[in-house]
């Protein structure tokens, strides 16, 4: 009887939801558990949350893998904009927080960390479940000078987070996601 590990469960959940390969490349191995907590609910790798439950920016926690002095970048994206069957505007950029100290993770919601202010889920009615994906990246250096990102709702569509991560040499270390839909 095989022993199922956290990595195996995570891989299975990500593949079953299509996060792998739609959002994350095949072969991703998480290096940390990414905890995302809204005021009344916690994101639990594919659970369903409502727009009301997710209206405010969540608290984020993670276990630093080696050095608490490292800094991290967090993205929240919706690859299913305006729908999973027609993702022409995806991935939609809902939140970008940068230079988050590993030993002061509460800084993720600090104004000084926000490249893109948090915008809660707002899937169009009748478009089915949208996947809201949190991606945690380890930065190669502290206090990176990131270029600013527009806060405009129109400019949030089609965010090339993979190119952005590559440009800044960010290493994906953690992921979590939830579903949200409006009838």
Task: Give the CATH number of the domain where residue 141 resides.
Answer: 3.90.280.10
Q: Is the pLDDT of residue 66 over 90?
A: no
pLDDT in tens, 15-46: 999 999 999 999 898 988 899 999 999 999 99
Backbone φ, ψ for residue 21 (5° rounding): -105, 0
DSSP state of 149: -
Q: Could you tell me the pTM of the whole model?
A: 0.94
| HSE, side-chain direction, 13 A CA sphere, residue 93 | 22
Q: Does residue 1 belong to any structural domain of this protein? A: no
Check pLDDT > 70 for residue 3: no
Report DSSP state, residue 39.
S
> Quick check: is 20 in a domain?
yes
At 51, is the pLDDT very low, low, confident or very high (cuts 50, 70, 90)?
A: very high
List the domain range (segments joined by +) for residue 61.
6-180
Q: Is 144 part of a structural domain of the chain?
A: yes
Q: Quick one: average pLDDT of 96-101? A: 94
Q: Number of structural domains, the chain? A: 1
Phi, psi dihedral angles at 136 (to 5 degrees) = -105, 125
* Domain annotation covers residue 141: yes
């Amino acid at each position: 009887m095989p022993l199922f590990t956290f990595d195996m469960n995570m891989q299975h959940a990500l593949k079953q939801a299509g996060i792998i390969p739609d959002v994350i490349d095949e072969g991703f191995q998480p290096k940390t558990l990414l905890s995302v907590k809204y005021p009344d609910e916690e994101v639990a790798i594919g659970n369903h949350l409502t727009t009301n439950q997710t209206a405010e920016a969540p608290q984020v926690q993670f276990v630093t893998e080696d050095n608490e002095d490292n800094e991290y970048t967090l993205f929240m994206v919706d690859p299913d904009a305006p729908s999973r069957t027609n993702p022409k505007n995806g991935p939609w950029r809902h939140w970008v927080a940068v230079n988050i100290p590993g030993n002061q993770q509460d800084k993720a919601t600090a104004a000084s960390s926000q490249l893109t202010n948090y915008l809660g889920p707002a899937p169009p009615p009748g478009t089915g479940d949208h996947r809201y994906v949190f991606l945690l990246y380890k930065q190669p250096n502290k206090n990176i000078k990131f270029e600013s990102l527009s806060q405009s709702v129109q400019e949030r569509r089609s965010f090339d987070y993979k190119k952005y991560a590559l440009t800044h040499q960010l290493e994906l270390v953690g992921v979590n996601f939830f579903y949200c839909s409006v009838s």
